Amino acid sequence: MEPKSAQESCFYCSAPLYRLKEGSVKCSRCKKKYSLERIRQIQNLIFYFCRDENALSAAKKTGLTYATVSKYFQKFRYLSAEYCESQYEQFRSGESQYEEYVYLEKSKRTKKEAIFDSHNFLTFAYGDRVYNILMPSLNKYKHQFLADNLEDLYYKEFSKFMRTSKIIKVSERYNTITRFWNFFELFIIPYKGVSNEFFPYYLKEAEFKFNFSYAVREKILTTLYFHPSNGTDI
């Protein structure tokens, strides 16, 4: 499947467009002026992002620079996170199931000092959708634990938790929560390590993509990106 072409109707109000001499267009109703080529490029980037293409692959397919594509992909992650938060506000009053998860890159799981790089989050299930809350990082305690020679003790407790942690608040063995965890483990591998600063956005990207199909993802992000209240400068 290939990305769709930009339609020659206004993204803001769907009215007909006037073509201008310099190659841009102007809306006959809301009077907004923008480039159809720029719209097409953004549509294509949304398409590739929603179908799990990485920034490098999308850059090669669109002819844009890697830096440009990375910037847009990060913007899409922000929008995805905001949308997931808005969805949670709608569902949180209903019945839910939840469990705690500790994620650490496989390459670090045998290194005692790396336990402080783990990410701890709660996964809530609302039917076949999930919502995640990232817990405070343990990294701020790293230097103190190492200075006090307590890393062995903490590592033993951490390892014990990793071996014995079970889903105790849900009734089915293979459920929405465990499906998301399996999805997340595969989703995060290609990124080869994500910094603490950006990890929340990648977690929310995984949540967004787990909850919605390709087509629905694309429809949501297109609406969010081109909505006037978004403030995006086309």
Arithmetic mean of pLDDT over the chain: 79
What's the first-to-final CA gap in the chain, in angstroms?
A: 26
For residue range 98-121, list pLDDT tens digits in order.
787 877 777 666 666 666 677 888
Helices 36-50, 66-91: axis angle to 10 degrees equals 60
For residue range 14-37, list pLDDT tens digits in order.
888 888 877 788 888 988 888 888
For residue range 136-191, list pLDDT tens digits in order.
766 655 555 555 555 555 555 555 545 434 444 444 445 889 899 999 999 998 88
| Predicted local confidence at residue 138, as pLDDT | 61
CA distances from 52 to 48, 92, 190, 213 (A): 6, 28, 11, 11
Both structure tokens of 34: 């923008």
217-224 long-range contacts (CB < 8 A, ≥24 apart) are: 217/50, 218/46, 218/47, 218/50, 220/83, 221/46, 221/49, 221/50, 221/76, 221/79, 221/80, 222/43, 222/46, 224/79, 224/82, 224/83
For 85, the 3-state DSSP assignment is: helix
Question: Where is pLDDT greater, at 197 or 93?
Answer: 197
For residue range 78-87, list pLDDT tens digits in order.
999 999 988 8
CA distance 16 to 9: 5
Question: Where is pLDDT greater, at 139 or 56?
Answer: 56
CA distance 18 to 61: 29
Q: Taking residues 123-147, report their average pLDDT.
A: 74
CA distance 34 to 232: 12
Q: What's the distance, CA 20 to chain centroid?
A: 37
pTM, two decimals, is 0.77
